[in-house]
A and B are shown apart, each in its own frame.
Chain A
Amino acid sequence: MRFAPPPAFEGEAGYRLLPMRFRRLPWDENRVLVTSLSGDWILMSCADFARAVDKDLRRDEPLFADLQARHLIVADSATSTLAPLLSQYRTRKAYIEQGPKLHIFVVSLRCHHTCAYCQVSRQPLGQSQFDMSGEAAAYAVERLFEWPARELTVEFQGGEPLLHFERIKMLVKAIEIRNRHEDRNIRFVIASTLHDLTDDQLSFMRDHHFDLSTSLDGPEWLHNANRPRPEKDSYRRTLVGIERGRKVLGEHAVSALTTLTRRSLEAPLEIIDEYRKLGFHSISLRPLSPYGFARKTETRNGYPIGDFLRFYAVALDHLLSVNRAGYFMEETYGRMLLGQLLTPFSHGYVDLRSPTGAGLGAVVYDYDGTVYPSDEARMLASMGDRSFALGQVDQPVTTWLESPAMQRILAAGVAETLPTCADCAYVPLCGADPIDHLARQGDTIGHRPTSDFCRKQMGLFDLLLERWETGSGSDRQILESWAHRATRQEAQPEFEAA
């Protein structure tokens, strides 16, 4: 038997472009980031990119193979399959297949703090009318099991949820009884200041495998300034709560998040060093959101998103130096974005989804029985705008999905169809946030050139990609280790802190 000569296997001459987007690199305007439909990408010179679009590439040059491997071009549509590209796309969007995994139960709005940036519109300690009733809680359990997800995260929030712990106990027991025949994998989380945590509460949490999420804004002076209590001892109480939680539930069961006020932006190194001192291997550096008391105090505590990005760049460099010194520590949002950039997998973070995670990735059961598609929608409602309420907890899930609120969210909830996003090289890795745009810009679609959400996303993607490309070999390894941790935590939605 004789094989035909090599030209017989080459197929049709030329090649076809596949869907792609590009962006000039801010740190090197002569090169571009080019992304595929599914978010695979390559960095290349503008001249090479122009040749690729002009169909001037030769089949025997390495760039041709690179672009084909990343599904940016296809050599011969008669003999090539696009099945791997479809598979990649489905993998990237796997979060849409099972509906909401994150279910937030707001058991009380009462709180003993008076934080100026509170996004929730907390209520005074004695106001028990802001507690979730037993009837609303029972309905919420029914609704929880109407969703199809096999993995469910049940998060208890407030106010301060520990102030209505009896309702948490009732909910956990009801969920576990129902789950005996539902057989879902359920994870319980409580977002709390951890102040006034009792031994009985900790025992209950240990018995039901709770994770704890708390807020720690940095060193004592900063935490106490951001989170005032009449006794001026918020930092000390938080540390006591963290230690007690770790002792009973285990080191890894307790995580902390940072909310950044204007004064926080002056202390990136101190904040990170505080987390290291306390033995945390993870930190979340979150800019303020425009909700609740945070909006009322915006002129005092707020800042332009450019200031946050400058803060983040300094913080990232310090985190890299901490890691180089042998102490593993990651930033959670950066981890999520790096996971998008450096792995092909889906993730559990509801703010980075397209279609949006609001109502499709998360549901909030408020204390009064009203249901919202996200915590931000609940916060908007507390400010008087209830237009994103999906319905009441005694209605079936299908009624919520057909609600005008959900239709409005979906109409602006696919990033790939939004003005400017549609052409953005980062859109396969990014998300849509119509509720945030309504809160900031008065419109669910929003205006990207002035969107803080867009500036933050683009700024962080650019920063992380630049550090990954231009950093030392060890920096690159550190960033890649964050990305792969994001992959391992894919099934677990990110949760909020108190």
Chain B
Amino acid sequence: MATIRLSIDAGLFSAEVIARTAHRYTDRFFVELTNSDGAYAIALTSKQDDVDLTGIEGRFRNDALDEHLRERIRAETTDLHVSLVQAALRQAAPTRPKS
């Protein structure tokens, strides 16, 4: 099975961003993540022989940027998200039938 190895600067991304990105690749790859010397080392080993590896490294790096954006949005909106859902559903109590 072929393995793709890539390194990403740990100063640019959180471990959660890298883990969330890698999780999306677990359909076709076995994933190994390590963090040392200020960089994440990512190893993607294909589960089957016929997996097309073209462009996977570049796609992973782009996906990490998307996850980073999601992390920023979550950081700004999670508390508000919870408050809004609670406020919206507070009035959603079941109505009882006429006795």
Contact = CB atoms under 8 A, between A and B. Distances in A.
B5 interface: no
Contact of B72 (A53, A96, A184, A420): A53
Nearest to B27: A449
Contacts of B77: 17-20
Interface residues of B, number: 29
A447 B94 contact: no
Nearest to B72: A53
A82 interface: yes
A116 to B, nearest CB: 29
B3 interface: no
B80 A19 contact: yes
B27 to A, nearest CB: 4
A450 B92 contact: no
Contacts of B96: 148
B94 to A, nearest CB: 5
Contacts of B84: 19, 37, 82, 85-86, 89
A447 B73 CA distance: 24
Contact of A423 (B20, B76, B81): B20
A89 B27 contact: no
A148 B97 contact: yes
A200 interface: no
A447 B26 contact: yes
A419 interface: yes
B80 to A, nearest CB: 6
Interface string B16-46: 0000100111110000000000000000000
B56 interface: no
Given A24-B66, A37-B84, A148 B94 contact: yes
Contacts of B72: 53
A66 B43 CA distance: 41
A89 B80 CA distance: 14
B70 A423 contact: yes
A98 interface: yes
B89 interface: yes
Contacts of B85: 37, 89
Contacts of B20: 423
B1 interface: no
B23 A419 contact: yes
Interface in A424-472: 447, 449-450
B23 A50 contact: no
Contacts of A18: 77, 80
A145 interface: yes
17 contacts: A18-B77, A19-B73, A19-B80, A22-B69, A22-B70, A24-B66, A37-B84, A37-B85, A85-B84, A97-B93, A97-B95, A99-B94, A148-B94, A420-B24, A447-B26, A449-B23, A449-B25
